Amino acid sequence: MNKNQELEALYDTVAQLYFKNIQFLTKHYPALLQKIKAFESLKRENYFLEFIDNHFELVDSKGKHYYRCNPFFDALHRCKNIDQKPSFNLLKTSEIKKAVCYRNSINAFEYINEYLQLFQEQKSNGFEKFVFLGTLLGVHLNDLANVLHSNVYLILEQNIEIFRLSLFLTDYEALNCGATLFFCINEDENSLNDSIKQFLKYKTEYNHRIGFEVSHENSLGLIDAVTKACIDHDPYNYPFSEYLISLKRAFFYKQHSLFGILNCKKSHQVLNAPILFLGAGPSLASNIEWVYLHQDAFIIVCAAACLRRLELLDIVPDIILSVDGQYKQVIRQFDVNEKYYHHSLIVASTKTDLDVAQKFNPQNSFYMPDNLEVFENTGYFTGVTVGDVGLDFLLRFGAKEIYMLGFDASVSKTGKTHDGIYKNSTVALQESNVLQNSGLKTKTDLIKVKGNFEDEVHTFMQYKQMIDSIAQITAQKSSDVTIYNLSNGAYFYHTIPLKKESMVWDSFHFLNKADLHKRVKAQLIEQSSKNLTQRDINDIKQEQKIIKKLQRIGSSKTTQEFLKLQRTYKNSLSLQILEKFFNLITPYSRGKNRVKAEELEYFQYREVVKELETSYQL
């Protein structure tokens, strides 16, 4: 066979592989096939498959070569370094020491630690899930899969034309043998994030170590997309115990008629004056004198963590927001002279600690439903921090002109994350690099985001959630609402960066704070309720019946019987909380030591059901 015949046979082979892949996509991924056909109908060619020096090369219209070597040799090199592949870790592998803790209540993190102790000598070194960031011609995909033997693969490629060319050299059907494939090809930002989340939600027990391979430097940006989705999908962000404590305490407060629970389902025109919304970031400390000079021109709304800074200059806030349910952290925030909070209006989360609530003046205190609509037509707030939850509160209660200060959502150049009046307000600057560091450290690794006054600032990946949450909240604000950001930190979308020096603040009218306090308080009372309605009582009785059914479930078919109840009682809060319990612990309870794991799971399940029973007592 001469060279021409060999070349012709080679092109026949790749053409056959292409048609094989087309048949595979037709049967299993028709939407992706339609996307490819739509591109082919455009008859555009920006990339080419060329046979050069006895190997296929990916070349663009400007003549750039993407491999610059035999792609088969490139694949072999990647396989030899398989043990050095970086990873994203969504499941904890070591004891969780610093975590949210509520007194006299179930702690989801302690539950996880019990599993970690049970399986501490059974750690897996492989990747049960793997992500290909970019495909190029895809030759390395099959070779790596033959070494990895992963159960689930996610294939990300932003260029539909490059992916189409990979159909000539990659056997996607073979990749699908013994594994599940997720494709995310040429997607916009929202669809890309949704596709990654679907991959993460599938077989969550495989989220222990999610390895990844970057095909080319052009695909490095996809790391940020996967990182964001991993942070959003992190099961530890708001585990089942958060909902449990919110349910338990909300019932206690309303049954004892201690404080009014606000109706957050509707919009209310309560806050119709300029709002100065203060957070405990470094920008508050550097601008506190300005706050003192202009405090009478605004309704001062502050996070409880600001009180110690405000006390230094004798600034009494009009409204105080508190969303943390822990005792030690919040009680320290109110460790100031009583005058700085006793006469202020306090709006707190329904999961506020009972002993912390004793410090509040009951005549001036209100509760925000936290992540659960426990009572009839109250709605609820969701969010990451007091910054986004507080902003959501202000907008729902009629604020039209908001000035944010102290919500930096970033790390300063000197490493400060919070007002220096608090301990542990400084961190060591260390940028995240998942290419070099195994795992994903959301609370310590730093990334760069758009700055409010600077091009870029550093922030934690976990803080990025707050930035994204604010973006979602502000995207829904009406056109007559204006939000200014005075902080020297991260930029918040749909807000206006404003340096205080650029405004003439003396033109602002002083507010009559006494009249303001009476009016806002009266309207908040009008929009809140202290007593259980008949509908609430009926709902409680229904939940009590469901809990009795849960208590009768045996250890052998816990999950199956739970799912049956869930199909019958789709609106049950108890079952929704239990679902979150199972979602969190299932990846851990399916380890090698299955018998002990299931025993532990059933014991924990019984504890959660007992806590639900206690919560719903009339």
Question: Which of 190-199, 459-468, 486-495, 521-530 shows the lowest per-residue confidence on average (mean pLDDT)?
Answer: 459-468
Chain segment 556-571, per-residue pLDDT in tens? 888 889 999 999 999 9
Q: Is the pLDDT of residue 431 over 60?
A: no
Asked whether residue 571 falls in the same domain as residue 464, the answer is no
Same domain for 538 and 519 = no
- Beta strands, E only, 257-391: 260-262, 275-278, 299-303, 319-322, 345-349, 365-368
The residues near 188 (Cβ < 8 Å, ≥ 6 apart) are none
Is there a domain that residue 465 lies in?
yes
311 and 212 belong to one structural domain: no
Q: Which long-range contacts (CB under 8 A, 24 or more apart) does 1-8 make?
A: 7/51
Whole-number pLDDT of residue 435: 44
Hey, what amino acid is at 20? K
For the entire predicted model, the pTM comes to: 0.83
Same domain, 307 and 158: no
Decide which of 486, 511, 529 is a domain's last residue.
Answer: 529
Q: Is residue 310 part of a domain?
A: yes
Residue 408 lies in a domain: yes
Cα–Cα distance, 445 to 399 (Å, whole number) = 35
* Whether 520 and 570 share a structural domain: no
- Domain enclosing residue 589, as ranges: 533-615
pLDDT class for 74, splitting at 50, 70, 90? confident
* Structural domain count, the chain: 3
H/E run at residue 519: helix 513-526
pLDDT band at 364 (very low <50, low <70, confident <90, very high): very high
d(CA 246, CA 350): 6
| Cβ atoms of residues 489 and 407 within 8 Å | yes
Phi-psi region at 406: left, alpha or beta (left = phi > 0; alpha = psi -120 to 50): left
pLDDT at 219 (0 to 100): 83
pLDDT band at 443 (very low <50, low <70, confident <90, very high): low
Instruction: Name the nearest CA neighbour of 443 among 453, 432, 456, 451.
Output: 432
Residue pair 375/356 in contact (Cβ under 8 Å)? The answer is: no
Q: Same structural domain for residues 467 and 569?
A: no
Candidates 268, 301, 247, 351; CA nearest to 528 is 268
Instruction: Tell which residue, 549, 540, 532, 583, has the closest CA to residue 253.
Output: 532
Q: How far is CA 532 from the centre of its chain?
A: 33
Does one domain contain both 299 and 372? yes
Return the DSSP state at 335.
Answer: -
- Residue 119 domain flag: no
pLDDT at 591 > cutoff 80: no
Q: What is the mean pLDDT of the chain?
A: 87
What CATH number corresponds to the domain at position 33? 3.40.50
514 and 576 within one domain: no
- Tens digit of pLDDT for each residue in 151-183? 999 999 999 999 999 999 999 999 999 899 999
Do both 484 and 573 map to the same domain?
no
Stretch 116-121: mean pLDDT, rounded? 68
Q: Which of 186, 214, 232 is a domain's end point? A: 232
Looking at the structure, tell me whether residues 303 and 372 fall in a common domain: yes
* pLDDT band of 437, cuts 50, 70, 90: very low
Instruction: Tell whether 237 is covered by a domain.
Output: no
pLDDT confidence band for 434 (50 / 70 / 90): very low
**Radius of gyration for the chain, computed over Cα atoms and rounded to the nearest angstrom:** 28
Question: Which stretches within 123-276 are classed as H helix?
Answer: 139-148, 160-166, 172-176, 189-201, 222-232, 240-255
Q: Which helix (H) or strand (E) holds 132?
A: strand 129-133
